[in-house]
Amino acid sequence: MDEMKNTKHVDNEQMKNENTEVEGMENHDELLLTKDGLEKLESELHHLKTVKRKEIADRIKEAISYGDITDNAEYEDAKNEQAFIEGRIITLEKMLRRARLLEKSAEDDHHIVLGSTVKLRDLDLDREEEYTLVSTAEADPAEKKISNESPVGKALMGRTIGDQVDVKVPAGTLKYKIEAVD
C-alpha cells in the first residue's frame, strides 16, 4: 500500500543507538510499529476510505430521500457515524505519517526487543505464557500482544533467555523466567 512506501525503517540496533529508552521514541512523535501492526493500520484505513465511506454516503442519501431531515433519526445516525469514521480516518493517517517500521536485526535473536515473541514461565503458578511485545498502538491482550510500555513489557525489554524477571503490578509482584525469544 502507498502508506508503507513513506514509512521509515529502523532496526532495533539503530533504535538503541538513537535512544536508550523505548518510551523516549514517543517524545519524538514517532510511532514504532511491527510489520504486522503497520499492515493492520493500513488495511483499516483502506477499508474505511473505500467501503465504509460509501456505505455511509448511501445511508445518508437514503435518509434524505425520506424527506425532511430535521426529525429524521436515520439521517442523524448516519451523520454521527460519518463523523466517527472521518475522525478515525484522520487519526489513522496521522499515525501512519508518524509510523516507523521496526525490523529486528540479527543481533536481536536472543534479546527481547519490540516485535519479539517471548515464552515465559510464571514461577508462582508454574505455567507457560507467550506474548509478543508491540507498541502501544498495536497492543491487544486478547491476541497476546502486550505493549512495551506495560509493566511486563518494560520489564522484558532488553532481557534474554534464562533471565528471571520480577514485575511489580498493582496486585503484587509477578515472577517470570524467560524460556524462549523469537
Model confidence over 140-178: pLDDT tens digits?
999 999 999 999 999 999 999 999 999 998 889 999 999
Distance CA 149, CA 119 (A): 18
Whole-number pLDDT of residue 23: 35
Q: What total of structural domains would you count in the chain? A: 2
| Confidence bin at 105 (pLDDT 50/70/90) | low
**Quick one: 34 and 91 in the same domain?**
yes
77 and 17 inside one domain:
yes
Do residues 131 and 176 share a domain?
yes
Domain that holds residue 35: 2-102
Residues 51-65 have pLDDT tens digits of 999 999 999 999 999
- pTM across the whole model: 0.66
Last residue of a domain, one of 70, 102, 134: 102
CA separation for the pair 107, 18 (Å, rounded): 16
pLDDT at residue 29 in the model = 73
Residue 138 reports pLDDT greater than 80: yes
Out of 33-42, 63-72, 76-85, 154-163, least confident range: 63-72
Last residue in a domain, options 76, 102, 128? 102
**Same domain, yes or no: 35 and 120:** no
Q: How many other CB atoms sit within 10 Å of the CB of residue 65?
A: 9
Q: What is the DSSP letter of 111?
A: B
- CATH number, domain containing residue 130: 3.10.50.30
Looking at the fold, whether 96 and 116 belong to one and the same domain comes out as no
| Same domain for 123 and 43 | no
CA geometry: angle at 148 spanning 120 and 146, to 5°? 60
pLDDT above 90 coverage of the chain, percent: 59
Residues 111, 98 within the same domain: no
* Distance separating alpha carbons of residues 161 and 166, to the nearest angstrom: 15
Residues 31 and 57 in one domain: yes
Which among 102, 122, 150 is the end of a domain?
102
For residues 115-122, average pLDDT: 94
One domain, residues 87 and 118: no
Tell me the CATH number at 47: 1.10.287.180
